[in-house]
Amino acid sequence: MTDDPALPDVTLADLDRDGAIADAVGAVWGETRAGFLRTAALGGGALLGALSLPAPALGASKTDKSILNYALTLEYLQADFYTEAERLKTLKGPTARQARVVGAHERSHVKALRDVLGRSAVKRPSFNFRGTTESPGAFRRTAVAFEDLSVAAYAGQAPRIEAKEYLVAALGILSVEARHASWIRGLAGRRPAADAFDAPRPRDEVLDLVEQTRFIESGAGPRTTGRRSPRFTG
């Protein structure tokens, strides 16, 4: 069995013979999504992802919108990091496969959060990964740091989320990020689970660590790489 098996295309109607799932989706997320799911042909993973997305955050609290945008910023960072590594084609073998699979996950996280936030979504920054995508060793060290930090960041914010549907979605991302961390740790020669308990990180601490990398550029410009080592790579 592979880690990303191809699942047959199905529709909601194939799984929901009596209409119970469609009714539940319509009640929670509205008939637009329920109607789409009734007829759309989706891969198994895509169908589950569509069902797990929370409703748009039009009525979300200020706190929840802030947390979702904080998560979106971290997902932008990770998605662009993996996308650039794929584009440069400097990775080989298992590391290249990890970047390809995880990059697709992170881009899915970005899309899901942007769909939920709508016009409230923060814009994607410009990034300079300062050479960390140009060699397998630097990539692995940085990916370990990103995934560990992402797990700690989501764990730090989960107790602050007010709406249940956003908490469920955040925990769904958190569990995937933990699997990412275990995967890249193994490829980097580190213990998949370093400790029995993970300590959550507060938002200010996470943002300070991200700022220390100097990966996020203040001005507009091309998302590019350069040969300058970041201060924080795990």
Averaged pLDDT for residues 98-124: 94
What distances in angstroms separate CA 113 from CA 43, 74, 148, 204, one per listed residue?
Answer: 20, 11, 20, 21
Contact 11, 41 (CB under 8 A): yes
Of the two residues 6 and 140, the one the predictor is more confident about is 140
The DSSP H or E segment spanning 166 is helix 164-187
Query: What are 173-232's pLDDT values in tens digits?
Result: 999 999 999 999 999 999 999 889 999 999 999 999 999 999 998 654 445 455 544 344
Tell me the torsion sign for CA atoms 171, 67, 162, 52. negative
- Whether the per-residue pLDDT at 48 is higher than 80: the answer is no
Whether the model clears a pTM of 0.85, i.e. scores above it, the answer is no
Contact 201, 153 (CB under 8 A): yes
Query: What are 54-110's pLDDT values in tens digits?
Result: 556 557 899 999 999 999 999 999 999 999 999 999 999 999 999 999 999 999 999
What distances in angstroms separate CA 40 from CA 5, 9, 164, one per listed residue?
Answer: 20, 9, 27
Query: What are 18-35's pLDDT values in tens digits?
Result: 555 445 444 444 444 444
Domains within the chain, CATH numbers bracketed: 1-52 (no CATH), 59-217 (1.20.1260.10)
